[in-house]
């Protein structure tokens, strides 16, 4: 495939309803879904054209709806790579989020222009796990829409059998094997460390 027309030959045009479901603002349904969501994936693009997708989580509603076109995402302790925030600051600033709610197969997508802020009043209003965020991603939302549940239904994400954690080495063991750096932490040690770093 080298041209959009090649794709059009195998994919029928989307229905008017599929096009119309993309809304220019956060309505009551989207607001409720975001309020129930403890997890999302944040996608950003860098100045060099690279793309980053990063998992984000917290208590349900950890991403705040500041208005019909405003989302506020607190940034919690992580690996300090700051790939997403570097992309927002140096790249196009465009971001996309996909929100998940355990038990609901549909997902919610929101996109717009992001900016990073360290406004102390805003950060003080977002204390979670006993700590303020290190920064806040402010997203001026331009498009919001619900995705059908087919992908999550196919994957049986919420209803399928859980994989036992023991089938994989701990993340500490895997990274040590890959890099030779750090300790070969057991999964128990990793969980204990996570408890103090949320």
Q: What is the CATH number of the domain that holds 123?
A: 2.30.110.10
Residues 92 and 115 in one domain: yes
Going 142 to 148 to 150 to 152, the CA torsion angle's sign is positive
Encoded tokens for 46: 């860098």
Residues 146 and 167 in one domain: no
Residues 24 and 61 in one domain: yes
CA angle 122, 45, 2 (to 5 degrees): 155
pLDDT of residue 34: 98
Residues 150 and 89 in one domain: yes
Q: Which residues of 99-114 are buried (b: 16+ CB within 10 A; e: fewer)?
A: bbbeeebbbbbbbbeb
Residues 64 and 17 in one domain: yes
pLDDT tens digits, one per residue of 64-79:
999 999 999 999 888 8
- Write out the residue range of the structural domain in which residue 194 sits: 163-198
Residue 118, domain member (yes or no) = yes
Residue 2, domain member (yes or no) = no
Residue 1, domain member (yes or no) = no
Q: Which residues of 129-158 are buried (b: 16+ CB within 10 A; e: fewer)?
A: eeebbebbbbbebeebbbeeeeebeeeeee
Residue 37, domain member (yes or no) = yes
pLDDT of residue 151: 95
Maximum separation of any 2 CA atoms in the chain, in Å = 55
CA separation for the pair 67, 60 (Å, rounded)? 18
Please identify every stretch of the chain with a pLDDT value under 50, giving residue numbers as ranges.
Answer: none
Q: What share of the chain is helix, strand, coil (3-state, %, to 5)?
A: 30, 30, 40
Residues 191 and 97 in one domain: no
Residues 19 and 97 in one domain: yes
pTM of this prediction? Answer: 0.91
**Element (H or E) spanning 16, and its range?**
helix 16-20
Provide the number of structural domains found in the chain.
2
Residue 5, domain member (yes or no) = no
Residues 145 and 176 in one domain: no
Residues 116 and 33 in one domain: yes
Residues 38 and 97 in one domain: yes
């Amino acid at each position: 495939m080298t041209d959009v027309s090649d794709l059009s030959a195998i994919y029928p045009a989307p229905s008017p309803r599929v096009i119309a479901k993309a809304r220019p603002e956060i309505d009551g349904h989207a607001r409720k879904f975001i309020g129930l969501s403890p997890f999302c994936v944040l996608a950003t693009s860098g100045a060099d054209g690279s793309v980053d997708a990063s998992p984000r989580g917290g208590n349900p509603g950890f991403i705040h709806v500041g208005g019909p076109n405003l989302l506020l995402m607190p940034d919690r302790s992580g690996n300090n790579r700051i790939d997403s925030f570097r992309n927002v600051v140096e790249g196009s600033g465009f971001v996309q989020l996909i929100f998940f709610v355990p038990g609901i197969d549909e997902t919610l997508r929101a996109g717009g222009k992001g900016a990073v802020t360290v406004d102390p009043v805003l950060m003080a209003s977002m204390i979670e796990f006993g700590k303020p965020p290190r920064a806040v991603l402010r997203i001026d939302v331009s498009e919001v829409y619900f995705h059908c549940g087919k992908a999550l239904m196919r994957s049986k994400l919420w209803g399928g059998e859980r994989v036992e954690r023991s089938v994989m080495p701990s993340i500490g063991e895997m990274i040590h094997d890959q890099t030779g750096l750090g300790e070969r932490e057991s999964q128990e040690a990793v969980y204990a460390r996570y408890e103090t770093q949320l």
